[in-house]
Structure formats: structure tokens, C-alpha cells
Amino acid sequence: MEELQELFAQGEDGVQVSLPTDRMTGRPRGFAFVEFLTPESAAKAIEKFDGFELAGRRLRVNEATDDRRGGGGGYGGDRSFASPPRPGKRPARPKGSRRNARARKRSIW
């Protein structure tokens, strides 16, 4: 992280670098966010450091975007509520084991 801080702070004041880490391992996730005081200094850094090699890795430097596609890891948002029924479609069968349903039918209680 210090290497990135030094690299992007060349000639710029107020550069802030944050390096997200993996929750499970605590290791860096392979990307960083760099904040600049002015948009002009950010544009210069993008032009100067995109494709730059640091510690044997080629940097890809671009402007961060607000991505709303959903998170990774298979969750993709709040799944606690079922989606509303689609018009013209039958409602889906409840999920569960069919074996348990048959066993309940056969019981003699």
C-alpha cells in the first residue's frame, strides 16, 4: 500500500489510497481506490499511470464508476422476498422434498 501511496502522491498533495482486503483471508483483493483533490489531477494520474508496471504487475488506472449490477458471491441483493407473480403464469410450486410430502400422505394417523 505504501508503494501505491508514494506512486500516486508524486507531486500531488492530499492523495488518499484505500486498498480493500478480503474478509476471509485479510489479503488485498487486487485493486485500490485513489482519491485526488481535483478532477484535473485525477485525469493526469490516469493518463500517466495507466499501463505502468509496479512490483511486477501492470496497473490499470481508470475513473471509478457507480456500478449497480449487484454484488458478487452469488447473493446479488436481498433475496428474502419472493418476486411478484408474472401475469399469465401459474404460481410456482412450493419448494421442498417430495419424499416428505409422500410420507405424510402415507401416514395412518
pLDDT per residue as tens, the chain (109 positions): 678 888 888 867 778 888 899 999 989 888 888 888 888 988 888 899 899 998 888 999 998 887 766 555 554 455 555 566 666 666 666 665 555 655 555 555 5
Residues 17, 32: contact at Cβ < 8 Å? Answer: yes
Residue with the three cell numbers 449487484: 70
* 93, 103, 109 from 106: Cα distances, Å: 21, 5, 9
The reply to whether the predicted model has a pTM over 0.75 is no
- Show me where the domains of the chain are located: 1-20+35-62
* pLDDT score recorded for residue 25: 92
Q: What is the 3-state secondary structure (H, E, C) of the chain?
A: CHHHHHHHCCCCCCCEEECCECCCCCCECCCCEEECCCHHHHHHHHHHHCCCEECCEECCCCCCCCCCCCCCCCCCCCCCCCCCCCCCCCCCCCCCCHHHHHHHHHCCC
